[in-house]
Amino acid sequence: MLMVPQPRWRRMPTIQTVFSTTSPTQLGINYSNKKHSNQFRETHYPKISFPQAKQATTMCYRVVTHTLRCDVQPVMSDGVDLCVDPFAPPHQCRCFPNETIRPWLRCESHGCCMQTAKMVWCPDVEDCAEVVEMHRYHKAQSQPRCIWASELTNKFGFDLLDKMLSDPEWRQIPVLDELLFPDNGLPPLTSLAPQFLNALENLTTVGRLIADTQSSLLELEEDVKDRRTRHDVFHGEACERVLNEWECSFLRRIETGDVLIEQMRKALAKQIELLYASFKLVQRMALPDDGEEELDSLMVKALPVVGRDEEKE
């Protein structure tokens, strides 16, 4: 059985990351029953140091700060935990424009968002040709409660108005660059080596893909579970005695869903393997000069590609 090493985000006193060994067919993922079930359980992680890049050049970067009511933080996943992706733009929300926000601070994509931006310039601006954009997210202060809320609640016997006025859930999850650089975040006025930037881009891309795959997989599993429950209620044992699997419309959809779930689990296992490869590449960049040959061999190594008709292990 193929064993897939799996990284995990964790806030550590030094630049570290944690890996575990996971079976790609079982994934070692325990899904919770919560709606936001991207938080997974995992134990027994051997510690492996996460390096910084050896080379650095000056650069500028643009920091965009979003202060808003809705949680639109773009996230990435390692298959177990979530972290905020500061290099991705935020998701859109359905809030109407907030008239209390001044026009020059109002965000075009989010009605409840107050957006500010600042540039952090490098010493040699004339020679600098690279700008990295980063996003920061802060929860806006709660709106003042309606003075009629308690009266309406007592009159109608339910807390509907309180629910309408309450702020949506805001996830408290770590940020990627704070995990990589726990002391002061991403070093200012510093551009990491191009190879490191490429590895970091691969890392964030695969991390976003894992988060999307997990979300789709959970929705599919819930749909199959719901269809199986309805089948047992309406058909039950009588269906098994009278009809074959291909003759029952409920069972046909359930069987199709089970096949799709198995394919998505295999794809998720490959994505976690690619994420581990990105971590491995970044780690090798901290080797001394005598380790350059090993770094080159790792960079040209062909990574597995997920196919639709993948052979069973």
Please tell me the distance from the alpha carbon of residue 113 to that of residue 67, in angstroms, as a whole number: 6
- Quote the pLDDT of residue 144: 47
Structural domain count of the chain: 1
Is residue 138 domain-resident? yes
Is residue 212 domain-resident? no
Is residue 66 domain-resident? yes
pLDDT of residue 124 exceeding 80: no
Among the residue ranges 164-173, 183-192, 301-310, the one predicted with the least confidence is 301-310
Is residue 173 domain-resident? yes
Please tell me the distance from the alpha carbon of residue 103 to that of residue 97, in angstroms, as a whole number: 10
Mean residue pLDDT across the chain: 67
pTM of the model: 0.61
- Quote the pLDDT of residue 57: 56
- Quote the pLDDT of residue 149: 44
Is residue 4 domain-resident? no
Of 269 and 131, the structure prediction assigns the larger pLDDT to: 269
b/e sequence 287-296, b meaning 16+ C-beta within 10 Å: eeeeeeeeee
Is residue 122 domain-resident? yes
Mean pLDDT of 292-301: 47
- Quote the pLDDT of residue 250: 76
The two tokens of residue 275 are 């994420």
Q: Which domain holds residue 89?
A: 56-192
The tens digit of pLDDT for each residue in 8-57 reads: 554 333 323 333 333 333 333 333 443 333 333 333 333 333 344 444 45
- Quote the pLDDT of residue 10: 43
Is residue 289 domain-resident? no
pLDDT of residue 210 exceeding 90: yes
* Rounded alpha-carbon distances, angstroms, from residue 84 to 137, 205, 229, 306: 9, 13, 36, 26
Is residue 178 domain-resident? yes
The tens digit of pLDDT for each residue in 211-270 reads: 999 999 999 999 999 988 888 887 776 676 666 655 677 778 888 899 999 999 999 999
Structural contact between residues 277 and 207, judged by C-beta atoms closer than 8 angstroms: no
